[in-house]
Chains A and B, each alone.
Chain A
Amino acid sequence: MSASNSINTSASALRNLSFWFALSALLCLLLVDIEISSADPWAELGLMTAGALSPSVWSWPTLLSSLANTFAFALQGVTLAAMGGFVLALGYRFTLVRAFCAFIRSIHELFWALLFMQVAGLSSLTGLLAIAIPYAGTLAKIYGELFEEVDPAPANNLPPTSSRLSHFCYSVLPLAWRSMATYTSYRFECAIRSSAILGFVGLPTLGFHLETALSDGQYSEAAAFFYALLLLIGTLRLWLHKRLLPVYLVAVFYYLPPQATISWQLLVRFISEDIVPAPLRGQTIASAETLNSLSQWFSLLWQQQIWPGLVNTVLLGQISLVFTGLLALALLPLNSSLFFRHGRIVSRHLKRSIGDSILVLLRTLPEYLLAFIGLLIFGPSMLPAILALGIHNGAIIGHLLGRYTEEFNLRDDASRGITLYFYEVLPRIYRQFLAFLFYRWEVILRETAILGILGIATLGFYIDSAFETFRFDVALLLILVSAALNISVDQFARYLRQRLQLKTVPESL
């Protein structure tokens, strides 16, 4: 942060911004329903606890094959996304490319899967694309911003005649490469979670059986599938080495080749019929009558679904964002060795691993499950949704921040505990914290989609309803609306990031 401090990098700007965000969340909180109304959740919670303590595998082949599928979809998806994201990142300075990337990542993986399912069925290609497309949008953003943020000094030393290609290859790519690699590997963990979640709509991953067991109240079986997911994510560092990557890649493409029998008939029907707004279907010329019924169709949708959906999505997103931030700041010491500097080395390591494990656990728990537990305890309101989104995303940001603090060198006589946290760590991470939070903003908005069990009518709730009733025209319109919301949030976050000179991805990530 040395150069061009002229804009506005003072701490007061950060404080002001934090104040306005907190205030907006408090105002939103006044507008939503967070009433607690539950009678006796303890019987069900008791069953869940008993299940969690006595995991049972009803079929090892099922468990292992769904584990392998989860890994395969994730690795294939991220590989394809990294290639696509790289190409898109090359054009990231163009608004149109940025908007396109924001668009493709604004659609939840589950909805991509539901869209592809209409033409490619429940196939391995559907699973691969449902991960690869939104992840390409995310990686393009990260790569693109990394390219923008590289130190300009090497570029200034190139001969003025050098071509664009050599400029890029010698003064941009090498500087960004390490961050790109670390970020991509972090996204891989997210992809495993996404891959598992795809099971909710029928792909043969861990989520398929996890959701099944949960909905039947078979918590011991659910626990086994959840622990398998936890184990897969928790041990990645141990076996996913860079050098072995090509081996794994060949293995997953051999094990689960992306294939689907795409019927052109279905594709044509989907494009020329299904997603055409109902009043326009079968019409060849735009008569006044058609336009009239189209505008009626739209205004009814606007009143009943789009506007309430937008309002609920924004309210829930804003509150969850601020709660996520608070939780992330509270959780970060769990993953930071700065707070485990004293005591015997063995106990230090032990405590640190326990802290880290808690964060892995919290961010691996699907929001959907957290919302269900919250629903049992607090009854139906926005509260379980806020908790579910906050805990999940707070644990992710807390984990990233904790890792970021590993780079700090403390003096031997540095203070400890609370003093260290507030006077040393917090000021040094705050910019980074805001950058992560703004980045999670659109993710939180997207994830509001899968909390329909709480009856919270977000845009995602209506999208899901539209798929359930085979109104693909409505689904597509709502998807476009939520994409527009996401693109606006992305633009606003980008504006804030530039104004406050926040770096999205630290080299240390």
Chain B
Amino acid sequence: MRIQLLRNFIALTLLFITSISSATPSASSAVADPVSAKPFVFSAIPDQDEANLQERFDKVAVYLQDQLGIEVRYIPVKSYAAAVTAFRNNQVQLAWFGGLSGVQARRLVPGSQAIAQGTEDPFFTSYIIAHSSAGLEPSDNFPAGIAGKTFTFGSKGSTSGRLMPEYFISENLRDTPDKLFSKVGYSGDHSRTIALVQSGAYQVGAVNYKVWDKALAAGKIDSDKVKVIWRTPSYPDYQWTVRGDVNDSWGPDFQARLTAALLAMDDPDLLASFPRSGFIAADNDLYQPILDTAISVGIIDPGK
């Protein structure tokens, strides 16, 4: 018994040690080998339609590879925070961020730059949607009647599903959501916010207008059960952000060439991945309002 036990332990220990020390990147490894990334790697926040992220963004990777003449890879992540962390740790050098995640990423990585945004992104908006049982009607004015209802945001780190709706709600009703609503949930993403409000599980919710419009066009929404009752004022949202040190690895004009390639993207099939009608130039200052809002709502600490 004892000898067999010892033998097993020694065998397992050796196995473990050798497997760590001889760890060479192999084709069978299913996990991306992170920092040794000579290929240029990018990611995107998983805001909707996650199942097809890989397919959608692999096409973008092929496009960038052709344009830049280097190997370009896309890696999928599961959350907004994971996208920011991967960017901070240099596992990805470029990312398609939301307004808030972009601001967070650029604060964590000094020198990084917002270089391009969608044509629609300077004037992004959120919808407040309500289940029919809530008895709320569409209006141009802020729907003060949402106070006291149950309410769901999207992801905790979402600009259009959390930050801006929270800001406009607090500004209009002069209190924080947890005091204003009888219950506050975080559904995790926009598609699920729609499903939860449509089922009446939450009476009211906040959702990215692009995701809503797409779901509506796809026939996934029953207008008798759930409808848009208000649209927020516009704010800047999604953008491409690149690390400041990419020129050191890929050549002195790399950032400029990358920016040009993104702005030149005009294949409707590629643009549908985002979904945007085209890309225009962007810079960090455009997102100052988002940063200010995040600080006022308490998602980002002031200073630094």
Contacts and interface: CB of A to CB of B under 8 A. Distances in A.
**Is A bound to B?**
yes
Given A39-B200, A122-B77, A259 B191 contact: no
A130 B209 CA distance: 37
B157 A469 contact: yes
B195 A44 contact: yes
Q: Classify the interface of chain B: helix, strand, loop or mixed.
A: loop
A452 B51 contact: no
B91 A259 contact: no
Nearest to B50: A212
Interface stretch (B5-13, B137-145, B246-254): B5-13
Interface in B1-59: 1-2, 5, 9, 11-13, 15-16, 19-20, 22-26, 28-36, 46, 48-51
Given A221-B51, A253-B19, A259-B33, A376 B2 contact: no
B20 A250 contact: no
Interface residues of A, number: 75
Nearest to B37: A261
7 contacts: A39-B131, A40-B225, A122-B32, A213-B51, A254-B28, A380-B152, A468-B81
B189 interface: yes
B184 A43 contact: no
B156 A203 contact: no
B186 A123 contact: no
A155 B80 CA distance: 57
Contacts of A464: 156
A257 B19 contact: yes
9 closest pairs, A vs B, by CB? A39-B200, A455-B185, A259-B23, A121-B34, A202-B78, A253-B19, A212-B50, A468-B156, A261-B35
Contacts of B155: 468
B208 interface: no
Contacts of B104: 469-470
Interface of A: 33, 37-41, 43-44, 58, 65, 68-69, 79-80, 83, 86, 117-118, 121-124, 127, 169-170, 173-174, 177, 199-204, 208-209, 211-213, 215-218, 221, 246, 249-250, 253-261, 263, 266, 278, 375-376, 379-381, 452-455, 464-465, 467-471
B183 A470 contact: no
A436 to B, nearest CB: 27
Given A121-B89, A465-B156, A470-B104, A380 B185 contact: yes
B150 A379 contact: yes
Contacts of A122: 31-32, 34, 75, 77, 82, 86, 91
B157 A468 contact: yes
A360 B188 CA distance: 28
A80 B16 contact: yes
A255 B155 CA distance: 34
Given A216-B49, A455-B184, A79 B201 contact: no
A332 to B, nearest CB: 32
B108 A470 contact: yes
A253 B21 CA distance: 12
A79 B82 contact: no
A43 B200 CA distance: 11
A37 B188 CA distance: 21
Interface string B207-236: 000000000000010100100000000000
A388 B63 CA distance: 45
* Interface residues on chain B, size class: 35 or more
A42 to B, nearest CB: 8
Interface string B69-85: 00000011111111011
Contacts of A215: 50, 188-189, 191-192
Contacts of B76: 202
Given A43-B198, A266-B89, A470-B104, A201 B35 contact: no
A122 B33 CA distance: 9
B199 interface: yes
A376 B300 CA distance: 32
B262 to A, nearest CB: 24
B91 A256 contact: no
B270 interface: no
Contacts of A65: 30
B210 to A, nearest CB: 15
A376 B48 CA distance: 20
A211 B156 CA distance: 17
Contacts of A40: 199-200, 225
Contacts of B25: 259
A305 B36 CA distance: 39
Contact of B78 (A200, A253, A259, A468): A200
Given A41-B199, A379-B201, A465-B156, A208 B78 contact: yes
A126 to B, nearest CB: 8
A380 B80 CA distance: 24
B296 to A, nearest CB: 14
A261 B187 contact: no
Contacts of A259: 20, 23, 25, 29, 33
A274 to B, nearest CB: 10
B98 to A, nearest CB: 13
